[in-house]
Amino acid sequence: MASITTPKKAEAFFKGPCVFAAGAPTPESLPSERFPEIAFIGRSNVGKSSLVNALTGKDMLARVSNTPGRTQQLNFFRLGDRMMLVDMPGYGYAKASKDAIYEWNVLIDAYLKDRGNLKRLCLLIDGRHGIKDNDREFMHKLHVYAVPFVTIITKTDKIKKSELIDVKLAVETEIKKIGPAWPKTFATSSEKGVGIDELRLFLAQYVD
């Protein structure tokens, strides 16, 4: 199929048909690896579900919530029968029980370890809070499992330009410490639609 090489084509693709394909609360329930996959993860409440909605131009696709820790399973959205977007459950929810954290680790490890079709994982960092210890731990996990990832600074409408520059630098410094060759970082606001075109075009390269 034709590759998607312009912002206009990328927008049309991402805003095209997209359906909820599967919810996986356990490793056994993960769907087949038929499509190239892009996954979204980060601290609870960082804006993962909002970003999936902003990319696809569909407000109600992924469930957005003011209550942290709302997304408890991996939610798979099939985009145009060519790609899968995965809204992952976040980490760092203060009120999560020990059992819930254990289950989260089992599920996330199973997914990250053995997902041949996972083209890029998008690690979201809240622009207001910057990088935290659990983000560092998660980056380390990605390194151990050799998962290719990019970072996305979210909620940039809530911070000053100078703060964004500082957060970006801190994130890139952290990535360099663990070693990936290209510390690609995006900055977005799902609320205002900032950085969404650029991210769509970048992700579209992984469409078969």
Ligand X SMILES: Nc1nc2c(ncn2[C@@H]2O[C@H](COP(=O)(O)OP(=O)(O)OP(=O)(O)O)[C@@H](O)[C@H]2O)c(=O)[nH]1
Query: Is 65 among the residues that bind ligand X (CB under 6 A)?
Result: yes
At position 192, the amino acid (one-letter code) is K
Instruction: Give the separation between CA 194 and CA 45, rounded to whole angstroms.
Output: 19
Determine, following the binding rule CB under 6 A, whether residue 160 of this chain makes contact with ligand X: no
Closest CA to 56 of 43, 75, 33, 30: 75
Which one of the spans 17-25, 29-37, 142-150, 187-195 is the region binding ligand X (CB under 6 A)?
A: 187-195
If binding is defined by CB under 5 A, does position 49 make contact with Mg ion?
yes
Phi-psi region of 188 (alpha: psi -120 to 50; beta: other; left: phi over 0): beta
CA 194 distance to own-chain centroid: 16
The residue from 71, 75, 156, 190 that contacts Mg ion (CB under 5 A) is: 71
Q: Does 158 bind ligand X (CB under 6 A)?
A: yes
Which CB atom, from 52 or from 150, has the smaller least distance to Mg ion? 52
Strand, helix or coil for residue 110? helix
Stretch that binds ligand X, among 9-17, 68-76, 96-104, 110-118 (CB under 6 A): 68-76
Window contacting ligand X (CB under 6 A); options: 8-16, 18-26, 73-81, 155-163: 155-163
What does the per-residue mask of binding to ligand X show for 37-56, with x meaning CB under 6 A?
A: -------xxxxxxx------
Local structure of 61: helix, strand or coil: coil
Decide which of Mg ion, ligand X, none touches 158; Cβ closer than 5 to 8 Å per partner kind. ligand X
DSSP-assigned letter for residue 181 = S
Give me the least distance between CB of 173 and ligand X, in Å please. 23
Radius of gyration over every alpha carbon of the chain, rounded to an integer in angstroms = 16
Would you state the structure tokens that stand for residue 175, as one six-digit string?
């990535």
Alpha helices per DSSP H over 114-195: 133-144, 161-178
Which of 135/207 has CB closer to ligand X? Answer: 135
Using CB under 6 A, pick the residue from 59, 114, 137, 157 that binds ligand X.
Answer: 157
- Segment contacting Mg ion by CB under 5 A, of 17-25, 64-72, 170-178, 181-189: 64-72
Q: Which two tokens stand for residue 31?
A: 């769907």
Sign of the dihedral defined by the CA atoms of residues 186, 63, 79, 107, in that order: positive
Q: Does 75 bind ligand X (CB under 6 A)?
A: no
Q: Which residues bind Mg ion (CB under 5 A)?
A: 48-49, 71
